[in-house]
Amino acid sequence: MKLHYLLAGFVATTLVFSGCSSDSGSDGGIDREDVMSSSSSEPSSSSKMVSSSSAKKDTSDGIRPATLDDLSRNMLLDIDGHEVHMAAGSKQGLFSFWILRGEGKGQADTGEVVVKSDFEDGIIKFDEDHATPSVITTLNEKYFLYKMAKKMTIAFTVDSSGTLMYSVDKGKPQEVTPEQFPATQAKIGKYEEMVGKKLTCKSGDTTDVYKFFEGRYVMESTVGKKNILMVGGYADIHRGTLLLMPEYFSDGVMALYKYSVSSEFDLDSLGCTSENFKFKKIKVKDLADNWYSYDKDLKLDWNFMLNEDGTYKLEAFSNTNEQGKGGHWDVYGNVLLMSGESCVDPSACEVLVMGTVEDFEKGKGFTFKHSSEEVPPMPTEWVIQKYED
């Protein structure tokens, strides 16, 4: 089962951790360090996964694993004697578990654990290498969240009567209680309203531009005309809070950022402006193929292999191997992200390449307007690789 715990960052803060790769499962993964939390940021870590929903599998006793469709947006669980408020948000595979200060409803959120999981067979599994709880005020609750993040498995099932159940660490199944979280007209409460929005946030000479897709976002930060940071990751709104979680990044980012989004699509009153943008969603399985390009000026043959397992290889040949690099890739909407984890010249290897895929035709070709500045330059026009009969 693939799973993923991560939280996101914002370039304006000075609290960062640095890294060269977004895939913690590779040998070239990031060296992470704990950071002190501010009012909107929390420590965490990242690894790679792709969200999906498991198929319904009926068993002989009428009990089957739950799927994402079986979950409510908000739910209440009893875990280890604690009232835990679970949020599934837009059901894109991002989950958060919240503990409140006190037992009464309407109390301030005091801590949470955020986990990214494909929910395969209805299971969410935590482990100490990835799950990180936020800072909270009550000692006992803090210990509980750290215990939860270190090692816990929650399995969700649907019984023969259609009731959603859960069990913790293979314990006795309990019924999930659906919960309603009060909405307000002053805030965006559902992530679905963010999809197709472009937010531009300025602070001094720095401009951060966010684009939101289904369960994903990308952000580019510039000072003047110079690009200083590119980020791509997961996004959702849970309990009135926008959570951004980086998966790909070109430089150090914060581990967690939580935003309140106003009805005017401003992030925490930063003065962001919003506009709609259109994009043609491209499926990973459609873009995964062997692509070819020829540079007439440099007389270079280029091979670009995008594999369905999320790895890629980019090669350029003349009489010798002029370029060769590999890493991981994903596509958010129509934005292709490529993390560089190996290349011919490690000193010149770009950590992240990001760009839009346009005029895409499955099995034929596409245009890739990208950020790469490596030499020799990566082509922008690609066609399907042809083979000898």
Closest CA to 145 of 114, 181, 180, 185: 114
Question: Is 80 exceeded by the pLDDT of residue 35?
Answer: no
pLDDT digits (tens, 9 = 90+) for 243-282: 998 889 999 887 677 899 999 999 998 999 999 999 999 9
Secondary structure of the chain: what % helix, strand, coil (to 5)? 5, 45, 50
Percent pLDDT > 90 in the chain is 60
CA distance 170 to 153: 8
Res 30 pLDDT > 60: no
Its pTM surpasses 0.85? no
At 319, is the pLDDT very low, low, confident or very high (cuts 50, 70, 90)?
A: confident
Asked whether 151 and 128 are in contact (CB, 8 A), the reply is yes
Spans of all domains in the chain: 3-178, 284-384
pLDDT above 90: residue 36: no
Question: What mean pLDDT do residues 51-57 have?
Answer: 44
Banded pLDDT at 183 (limits 50, 70, 90)? confident
Helix (H) or strand (E) holding 148: helix 139-150
Q: What is the DSSP string of 55-91?
A: PP---TTS-EE--GGGS-SEEEEEETTEEEEEE-TTS
CATH for 284-384 is 2.40.128
Report yes or no: 106 and 91 within 8 Å, Cβ to Cβ: no
Residue 267 CB contacts under 8 Å (≥ 6 apart), including other chains? 199, 201, 242, 259, 260, 261
Kind plus residue range of the DSSP H or E element containing 228 = strand 226-238
Share of the chain above pLDDT 70, in %: 79
